[in-house]
């Protein structure tokens, strides 16, 4: 079945460490997105990519980095510059022809900074 796989599901990090969250899709979607979810704040867009080797900042990109070397993969690195990284991170993908496209989401990765 086609879908999005995120790993790890749970991740603990010490302050000052970078961590990378994996996102892989086999839906042949062109667009991929990373959202951050905090309690009571909904989902906020971190980065998105519409084509290989290109990506754009979202609303809260500071302290994060991404790459898009393959169509199927869009990893997110949470750097030590991110002041409050503890959150639930969701990866999504969609076709790229209209705002009507439905985003398909992964199961998420929960990052806790100790």
Partner 1 sequence: AQKVTQAQTEISVVEKEDVTLDCVYETRDTTYYLFWYKQPPSGELVFLIRRNSFDEQNEISGRYSWNFQKSTSSFNFTITASQVVDSAVYFCALSEEGDSSYKLIFGSGTRLLVRP
**Residues that bind partner 1 in the complex, under the rule CB under 8 A:** 31, 33, 35, 40-45, 48, 50, 56, 58, 88, 90, 92, 94, 96, 98-108, 110
Minimum CB distance to partner 1, residue 97 (Å) = 9
Closer to partner 1 by Cβ: residue 90 or 113 = 90
1, with CB counted inside 10 A (0-12, 13-18, 19+), is exposed
Minimum CB distance to partner 1, residue 67 (Å) = 18
The most distant pair of C-alpha atoms in the chain lies apart, rounded to whole Å, by 41
Question: For the chain, give me the number of helices (H) and strands (E)?
Answer: 0, 11
Closer to partner 1 by Cβ: residue 9 or 70 = 9
Minimum CB distance to partner 1, residue 96 (Å) = 7
Residue 5 tokens, joined: 């796989």
Kindly state the helix (H) or strand (E) to which residue 76 belongs, with its residue range: strand 76-78
């Amino acid at each position: 079945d086609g879908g999005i796989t995120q790993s790890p599901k749970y991740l603990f990090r010490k302050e000052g460490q970078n961590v990378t969250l994996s996102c892989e899709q086999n839906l042949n979607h062109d667009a991929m997105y990373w959202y951050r979810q905090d309690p009571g704040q909904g989902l906020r867009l971190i980065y998105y990519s519409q084509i290989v080797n290109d990506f754009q900042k979202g609303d809260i990109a500071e302290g994060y980095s991404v790459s898009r070397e393959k169509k199927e993969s869009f990893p997110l690195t949470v750097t030590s510059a991110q002041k409050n990284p503890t959150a639930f991170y969701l990866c999504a993908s969609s076709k790229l022809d209209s705002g009507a496209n439905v985003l398909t989401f992964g199961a998420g990765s929960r990052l806790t900074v100790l």
